[in-house]
Structure 1
Amino acid sequence: MERFDRHSIMTLQKTLSIAKSIRQILDKQRVIPQPRRLNETAATLADPKRRHTIPSGFFQRHQSSAAVAAAADASREHDCEPLPASHVPPTPSIAPFSNSPPTTKYKPIPPITLRALPNLYSELSKAKLGGLVALSTMCGYAIAPGAADLTVLLTTTLGTVLCICSANAINQWIEVPYDAQMLRTRNRVLVRRALTPFHVWSFGAVTGLAGVSLLATTVNPLTAFLGAANIVLYTGVYTPMKRTSIVNTWVGALVGAIPPMMGWAACTGALDPGAWLLGGVLFAWQFPHFNSLSWNLRSDYSKAGYRMTSVIDPALNARVSLRYALAMLPLCWAMPAAGVTSWWFAVNSTFVNAAMAMQAWRFWRESNERTARQLFFGSVINLPLVLALMMVHKVGWRDREETSRMAEEGIGLEGVVYVDEDELESEE
């Protein structure tokens, strides 16, 4: 019995020794996935020559965890790369259900409230861009040779704004998976889930119907048709074409040319040659404006799979910018010939358009971030100046003021007889 006990004890000791060896081998093969770290604080650990970055939550723990931080920092550039567990001594700070603060911050999505909705709708509608488009509509109304009516102007502007809200909301509803891949758009309303897709789509549908209905009932059917056509063109043609063909830029330029024509149609009820020239000016202006902008955003467009000229053919992108910057010159010269402005507009606009054409030429000669930025800001200055010069040199606006003054004073033109000087000389 004594021998059996001694033999059993020796066997048990050998078994425990083997088990311990196996456990050590398994411990070396064990891995610990590293968590993502959002807020980080730089700190110097054991090696003074090396600067580590460790989560700020480690400094708030009750037990020192410098070794844990060192192991975590070894995979800073590869957050998901596993590390051997032998490098990380077991400590209570990494135990499950620990009371210590986490290494990442969780920010819940705030609930939708009535107070937050205006800001969310403003982001969804791209309020700044929409304001510029509405301003171009007002300029088209002011340039048109018709009697001005403040009520019609306000309802036209409001209807245009509603159409813009609809187009931008539906555009974001369609592009949300691609917006999430771009640095410029990854914080949009749908990407961060501030609103549901159904909510966004409903907002776009309601604003679109309201805008077109308002234009049809208070302005005229032609303006309402242009507003509806622009929504369809932007959401149904331009948006899907961005991922299939570089022609999307030309379609987008057409979308931008319609709002001033809506203002013209609201004032006159028709699309005269001057309206088409005004739309042509807006159409041509958008190429140097957008192509220079897309040059510095081409990496983002490439990530999302958008087929922009700056991504597919950078040389063509610069050529198109120069081509349409030069086209601004004859388009503005044609405005006096159409009877929209005086010939002084042709003179003054030449200097403004020549400055943008020079910037486009530099961008074509050497396409880089600096020349692209110069052309972009030059185009931002160009359009307001051109539209302002059109309104200043508009034919007949001073004559209408004189006519209204004469009407107020009771001076009529019924008794005025016009005599041809040539006929008068022949009679003599």
Structure 2
Amino acid sequence: MQSTSNSIHKKTNFSVVFGDFKQLTKVGLSLSVVFSSLAGYLLGAEEIKISILILLAIGGYLMVGASNAFNQIIEKDTDALMKRTKNRPLPAKRMNVSTALVIAVSFTVLGLAILYSINPKSALFGAISIFLYTSIYTPLKAVTPLSVFVGAIPGAIPFMLGWVAATNDFSIEPGMLFLIQFFWQFPHFWAIAWLQYDEYKKAGFNLMPMGQKNKKAVIQIIIYTVCLIIVSIIPVLKMTGAFYIHPITAVILVLLGSTMLYYGVKLYKHQTDKEARQLMLSSVLYITLIQVIYVVDKFLH
């Protein structure tokens, strides 16, 4: 009987530890970033090498996991103040800082080594991403809403990183992928900041544009959504090197972007959390589908 209860206890302990590890490295977010970099690789590769895809997936996951772990170490006290984050392993004291630090550092070293084995440029962009996210974006969050602009840079690197991993080259094509994901960050993140406004305020963060949750903020969201739609269809002009799309693909992307725009306009009119949530969900759908559509378009050339 004793051994049965011991094994149940061990299983429970393991599931708690594993759950904490998943929370510290934000598995869901990390996987969406890996998806972006794999899409970028498929767009850039002349011939697809499964070994590089696997290395990119593991290296990309480790880099994002490291960034998230460092972020939670730095913000453990403010995380304790917010409902959404107070049950994370560090503020809930289920994990100590030194354990989290070991995970963060080992993920960084391993992730960089794996990306370097693909090519040095991939490792360089991975390192820039971690540095900007943890050393500049995270501390700036408590200081100014402009931190969102800084955070959009590491947030936009994964899509571009995939192309660089495929070609060992940084030119107009990965620059274009970077721009698309860069502009996407703003409506997406400001929709989240709208929903979490009071919670963020408790923790001393104000991430809305110009610090206010009002119509002026929504105008910014709408402007960036329009910019996103425009940069998403620029490849149809065939001015972006090897990265171009068919006219029909551009039409599909405009329709897809119009969904985000529709919810942005609704948020402007009604200014409720319901519209902000719809905008946030439509932005997640947009960035996922656009990457799939680009890849499908490439293979239909």
TM-score higher than 0.5 = yes
Counterpart of 1:196 in structure 2: which amino acid? N
Structure-2 separation of matches of 1:333 and 1:281: 9
Determine if the alignment matches structure 1 residue 214 to structure 2 residue 118. Answer: no
Q: Which residue of 2 aligns with 1:335?
A: 235
Specify which of 125, 147, 151 is matched with residue 252 of structure 1: 151
Q: Which residue of 2 aligns with 1:358?
A: 262
Per-residue deviation, 1:289: 1.2
Determine if the alignment matches structure 1 residue 306 to structure 2 residue 205. Answer: yes
Per-residue deviation, 1:114: 5.7
Structure-1 separation of matches of 2:42 and 2:111: 21
Q: Is contact 2:56-2:165 (8 Å) kept?
A: yes
Structure 1 residues 214-293: aligned runs within 5 Å: 214-216=114-116, 218-293=117-192
Structure-2 separation of matches of 1:325 and 1:360: 8
Higher helix share: 2
Structure-1 separation of matches of 2:124 and 2:80: 33
Structure-2 separation of matches of 1:209 and 1:118: 21
Determine if the alignment matches structure 1 residue 141 to structure 2 residue 45. Answer: no
Structure-2 separation of matches of 1:162 and 1:269: 20
Structure-2 separation of matches of 1:349 and 1:273: 20
Counterpart of 1:387 in structure 2: which amino acid? Q
- Rate the CA distance shift 1:115–1:318 in 2: closer, same or farther, 3 A: closer
Q: Which residue of 1 aligns with 2:293?
A: 389
Per-residue deviation, 1:224: 0.3
TM-superposition CA deviations, 1:123-169 (whole Å, max 9, x none) = 11011111111111111111125321110111011001111111111
Give ranges in structure 2 of 5+ residues lacking alignment: 1-9
Counterpart of 1:359 in structure 2: which amino acid? Y
Per-residue deviation, 1:317: 2.6
Per-residue deviation, 1:390: 0.8
Q: Which residue of 1 aligns with 2:224?
A: 324
| Larger RCO: 1 or 2 (CA < 8 Å, sep 6+) | 2
Q: Which runs of 4+ in 1 moved over 3 A?
A: 112-117
Counterpart of 2:71 in structure 1: which amino acid? N
Determine if the alignment matches structure 1 residue 192 to structure 2 residue 92. Answer: yes
Q: Is contact 2:145-2:209 (8 Å) kept?
A: no
Structure-1 separation of matches of 2:15 and 2:262: 48
Per-residue deviation, 1:274: 1.8
Give ranges in structure 1 of 5+ residues lacking alignment: 1-109, 400-428
Structure-2 separation of matches of 1:380 and 1:215: 26
Specify which of 377, 380, 393 is matched with residue 284 of structure 2: 380
SS in structure 2 at match of 1:167: helix
Specify which of 151, 161, 164 is matched with residue 61 of structure 2: 161
Structure-2 separation of matches of 1:163 and 1:377: 25
Identity of aligned residues (%): 27
Structure-2 separation of matches of 1:224 and 1:232: 12
TM-superposition CA deviations, 1:63-96 (whole Å, max 9, x none) = xxxxxxxxxxxxxxxxxxxxxxxxxxxxxxxxxx
Q: TM-score, normalised by structure 2?
A: 0.90
* Paired positions, count: 286
Q: TM-score, normalised by structure 1?
A: 0.64
Q: Is contact 1:179-1:304 (8 Å) kept?
A: yes
TM-superposition CA deviations, 1:366-388 (whole Å, max 9, x none) = 32112112211211221122112
Q: Is contact 2:141-2:206 (8 Å) kept?
A: yes
Q: Which of structures 1 and 2 has the bigger CA Rg?
A: 1
TM-superposition CA deviations, 1:323-371 (whole Å, max 9, x none) = 1111122212211222422222212111111121121122223321121
Structure 1 residues 77-116: aligned runs within 5 Å: 116=16
Structure-2 separation of matches of 1:285 and 1:323: 11
Structure-2 separation of matches of 1:289 and 1:310: 13
Specify which of 183, 193, 202 is matched with residue 294 of structure 1: 193
What is the RMSD of the two structures over their aligned residues, measured on CA atoms? 1.8
Structure-2 separation of matches of 1:165 and 1:207: 7
- Rate the CA distance shift 1:368–1:310 in 2: closer, same or farther, 3 A: farther
Q: Which residue of 1 aligns with 2:101?
A: 201
